[in-house]
């Protein structure tokens, strides 16, 4: 019998194509045929649990349960499905009235919250793969899908990439329901909306779009849905996949979509009118539209004194210039512009480079490469070993390189300053590391003129970028003096930050009136 079913439905079995759509496959009244179809499609999968039983009384109906072992709560299956259907003795009241029994099944017999009918076997298969339980009963021309999913998940911990001293220490984990609940706990308003869709032909990954109705721009929402609908791949394993498919400038080194693992950061961006994309299986949430200045801001800026927050923000801006320009400026000065160096400093630099056989550019290139290798080793190796490699390795190798005469002391110091500055602005770490080498090369080729031309090209590129319709370099270009003074270089007191960014918050809704909005259908 299974071989016959396989031949009949062989054309329906998915071949892994990302473009093919499954044809409707109706559930029949014969439970044996439905069971054979499911078994053939799963092909004796180890983790598929199948349980057949009889519904007692005069009904005397065959029934079957399908669920994935490890994704479904077995206790709920036993207590709320099997027990009511096999150990109850009041089924005699139905006699042979199957229709009445099927009608009462969901309303008074099964004691679970999320229950729905399913008339397409495709939907039933998808439900099983998502961890739900599918109930089939003979003579019933549809299945019942029961949402009783339960699996092991990582505890809520502080994100490793966004460590803070003051503020929330909670971070998202890989479970979608947990991530949405962390947002909902902070935004207690019915205006907060989660729209769910599945992406990936084989993985069927659940993706949720989060936004606040009445604040978020509906045109941006339509654009996000349009870009997500155009993703045709076999699998989505992380939010990074989604980011690469929907970003505005995939060839740019600057991120046009934000990444965060902190619920309070996501909530603050939603209040500004932004959107968030949460992917099941990933602790990283995407936020959009995303502006360049967000890389210079941290959640902790808004939990401390504005004076201290402004000082730290200026420190980050200085660090940004260090990592991008410092190696190139040193090479340009050492190679072409000796006359701008004070005499005493010039003598000191000359004494330090005496005996070094390489040009300043080669020195910086060697030390920069060494720094990146040590950084990658510290990240990829086990934590205890990685810390030893990154700290001890840098000290020993740097000192050995100086003593051996391969590099000079100024180059070691400049490389260290530039490298540490890159960690201060971690969201732009990859982009600034690449610019580090680009401006070093420009400084070695054309001195200050090369750095100047590179800066002009960089600014033109930044002002040309868009993030879902918002100018990426706003409020610097187009310029908004009020926002620039309040929340870019400085962080003004919270009571002055009563509106979101003009490039994002199209309705100019004040933060104080968020909960008073009336959504109009």
- The answer to whether the beta carbons of residues 342 and 422 sit under 8 Å apart is no
- Count of other CB atoms within 10 angstroms of residue 309: 21
- Helix, strand, coil percentages for the chain (3-state, nearest 5): 50, 15, 35
What does 62-88 look like in DSSP terms, one character per residue?
EEEEEEETTTB-HHHHIIIIIHHHHS-
> What is the residue extent of each domain of the chain?
2-146, 176-289, 302-464
Least Cα distance to 413 among 327, 497, 355 occurs for 327
Structure tokens at 379: 């990240």
- The whole-angstrom separation of Cα 133 and Cα 466 is 45
**DSSP 8-state assignment for residue 363:** H
Looking at residue 442, what is its pLDDT? 94
Q: Which long-range contacts (CB under 8 A, 24 or more apart) does 395-400 make?
A: 397/370, 398/367
- The whole-angstrom separation of Cα 262 and Cα 519 is 27
Mean pLDDT, contiguous 10-residue spans, the chain (521 residues):
45 44 78 87 83 78 89 86 76 73 81 86 88 89 88 78 83 89 91 92 90 90 93 91 92 93 93 93 93 90 90 92 92 85 77 77 86 78 63 67 76 86 87 92 92 94 92 85 81 80 62 42 35
C-alpha distances out from residue 206 to 13, 196, 242, 357, 365, Å: 22, 7, 12, 58, 44
Task: Determine how β-strand 466-467 pairs with β-strand 258-260.
Answer: unpaired
- The whole-angstrom separation of Cα 382 and Cα 379 is 8
End-to-end CA distance of the chain: 53
**DSSP 8-state assignment for residue 244:** H
Looking at residue 507, what is its pLDDT? 52
Looking at residue 13, what is its pLDDT? 45
- The answer to whether the beta carbons of residues 32 and 61 sit under 8 Å apart is no
Output Rg (C-alpha) for the chain, integer angstroms.
30
Looking at residue 15, what is its pLDDT? 45
The length of the chain in residues reads 521
What does 312-337 look like in DSSP terms, one character per residue?
HHHHHHHHHHHHHHHHHHHHHHHHT-
Question: Helix (H, G, I), strand (E, B), or coil: what is residue 227?
Answer: helix
Its pTM surpasses 0.95:
no
- The answer to whether the beta carbons of residues 266 and 130 sit under 8 Å apart is no
């Amino acid at each position: 019998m299974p071989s016959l079913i396989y031949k009949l439905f062989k054309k329906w079995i998915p071949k892994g194509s990302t473009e093919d759509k499954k044809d409707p496959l109706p559930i029949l009244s014969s439970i044996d045929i439905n069971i054979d179809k499911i078994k053939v499609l799963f092909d004796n999968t180890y983790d598929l649990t199948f349980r057949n039983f009889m519904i007692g009384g005069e009904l005397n109906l065959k029934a079957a349960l399908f669920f994935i072992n490890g994704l479904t709560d077995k206790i709920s299956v036993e207590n709320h499905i099997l027990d009511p259907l096999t150990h109850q003795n009041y089924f005699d009241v139905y006699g042979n009235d199957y229709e009445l029994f099927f009608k009462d099944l969901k309303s008074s017999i099964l004691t679970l919250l999320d229950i729905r009918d399913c008339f397409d076997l495709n939907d039933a298969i998808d439900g099983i793969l998502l961890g739900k339980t599918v109930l089939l009963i003979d003579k019933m021309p549809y299945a019942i899908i029961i949402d009783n999913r339960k699996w092991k998940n990582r505890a809520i911990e502080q994100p490793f990439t966004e460590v803070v001293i003051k503020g929330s220490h909670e971070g998202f984990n890989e479970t979608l329901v947990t991530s949405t609940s962390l947002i909902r706990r902070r935004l207690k308003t019915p205006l907060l909306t989660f729209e769910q869709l599945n992406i990936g032909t084989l993985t069927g990954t659940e993706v949720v779009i989060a936004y606040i109705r009445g604040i978020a721009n509906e045109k941006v929402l339509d654009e996000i849905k349009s870009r997500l609908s155009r993703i045709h791949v076999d699998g989505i394993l992380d939010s990074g996949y989604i980011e690469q498919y929907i970003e505005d400038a995939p060839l740019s080194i600057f991120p046009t979509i934000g990444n965060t693992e902190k619920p309070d950061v996501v909530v603050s961006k939603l209040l500004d009118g932004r959107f968030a994309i949460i992917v099941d299986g990933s602790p990283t949430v995407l936020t959009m539209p995303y502006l360049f200045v967000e890389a210079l801001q941290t959640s902790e800026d808004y939990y401390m004194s504005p004076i201290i927050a402004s000082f730290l923000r200026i420190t980050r801006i200085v660090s940004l210039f260090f990592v991008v320009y410092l190696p190139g400026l040193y090479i340009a000065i050492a190679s072409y512009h000796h006359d701008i160096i004070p005499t005493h400093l010039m003598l000191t630099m000359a004494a330090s480079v005496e005996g070094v056989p390489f040009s300043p550019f080669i020195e910086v290139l060697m030390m920069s490469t060494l720094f990146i290798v040590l950084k990658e080793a510290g990240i990829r190796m086990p934590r205890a070993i990685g810390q030893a490699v990154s700290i001890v390795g840098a000290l020993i190798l740097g000192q050995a390189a100086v003593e051996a005469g391969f590099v000079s002391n100024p180059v070691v110091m400049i490389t260290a300053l530039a490298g540490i500055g890159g960690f201060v602005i971690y969201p732009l770490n990859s982009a600034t590391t690449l610019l580090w080498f680009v401006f070093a090369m420009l400084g070695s080729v054309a001195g200050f003129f090369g750095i100047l031309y590179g800066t002009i090209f960089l600014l033109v590129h930044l002002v040309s970028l868009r993030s879902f319709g918002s100018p990426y370099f706003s409020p610097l270009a187009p310029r908004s003096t009020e926002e620039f003074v309040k929340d870019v270089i400085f962080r003004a007191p919270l009571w002055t930050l009563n509106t979101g960014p003009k490039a994002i918050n199209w309705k100019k809704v004040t933060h104080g009136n968020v909960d008073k909005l009336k959504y109009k259908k």
